Amino acid sequence: MSSGVQTVSTRNLHTWWQEGGVKDSKRIRIYENKVRQSHAYRVQVRSAPPAGAADAPWYDSFVYESIPRGGNGFFKTPVDSPNPQRFTWDECSDGDGISELEHKANLSMAWSQFEYDDDVEVKITPCNGVKLNEVTIRPTALHLEAKALSDAVVIRVPRNPDGFKFSVEFRDDIIEYFSDGTQYVKDGRHLVGREPRNALLIFASPFPAAEVTPPMSESNTTVMKPGPIYEGDWGSKAILYFPPGVYWMNSTQDGQSPRLGQNHIRLHENTYWVHFDPGAYVKGAIEYTTKNKHLYATGHGVLSGEHYVYTANPKEGYHGKKHDWESLRMWWHKLPVPGQTWHCAGPTITAPPFNSMDMKDPNDQIHVSARIQDYKQVGAWYYQTDGLQLNPDSTMRDVFYHCNDDAIKAYHGHVDVDRVTVWKIHNDPVIQMGWDLREVSHFSLRNLWVIHTRYFKHNDYVPAAIIGASPFYVNKDDPPEKKKKRDFKKQLAASITNVVCEGPCPGLLKISPLQSYDLKISNVEFQQELNPVSEVAESYVKGVDDFGSGKMAIEINNWSINGEKVTMDTFRSNQLGKLNIDKQYWKQWKINEVLQPV
What is residue 598's three-state secondary structure?
Answer: coil
Provide the sign of the torsion angle of the four alpha carbons 175, 179, 182, 185, taken in this order. negative
What is the rounded CA–CA span in Å between residue 172 and residue 538? 31
Tallying the residues shown for the chain, one arrives at: 598
Nearby residues of 529 by Cβ (< 8 Å), 6 or more positions away: 504, 561, 562
DSSP assigned state of 583: G
Residue 184 has phi, psi (to 5 degrees) of: -70, 145
The alpha-helical segments, DSSP class H, found in 489-541 are 534-537
Q: How far apart are the first and last CA of the chain?
A: 47
The residue ranges of DSSP E strands in 74-173, in sequence order, are 108-116, 120-126, 135-138, 146-148, 153-157, 164-170
What is the rounded CA–CA span in Å between residue 388 and residue 343? 12
Closest C-alpha among 596, 123, 166 to residue 398 = 166
Closest C-alpha among 388, 527, 522, 513 to residue 453 = 527
Spatial contact of 365 and 387, defined as CB atoms under 8 Å apart: no
Which element (helix H / strand E) includes 101?
A: helix 100-104
Residue 536 has phi, psi (to 5 degrees) of: -75, -40
What is the rounded CA–CA span in Å between residue 242 and residue 310? 26
CA distances from 461 to 183, 323, 334 (A): 17, 18, 27
What is residue 316's three-state secondary structure?
Answer: helix
Ramachandran category for residue 346: left, alpha or beta (phi over 0 → left; psi -120 to 50 → alpha): left
Spatial contact of 56 and 156, defined as CB atoms under 8 Å apart: no
What is residue 249's three-state secondary structure?
Answer: strand
Provide the sign of the torsion angle of the four alpha carbons 89, 95, 101, 103, taken in this order. negative
Q: Which residues are the active-site residues?
A: 386, 405
Provide the sign of the torsion angle of the four alpha carbons 70, 302, 420, 468, taken in this order. positive
Spatial contact of 278 and 299, defined as CB atoms under 8 Å apart: yes
SS3 labels along 15-53: CCCCCCEECCCCCCCCCCCCEEECCCEEEEEEECCCCCC
How many other CB atoms are found less than 10 A from the CB of residue 498?
A: 19
CA distances from 517 to 210, 417, 459, 547, 561 (A): 40, 19, 21, 12, 24
What is residue 453's three-state secondary structure?
Answer: coil
What is the rounded CA–CA span in Å between residue 183 and residue 388? 28
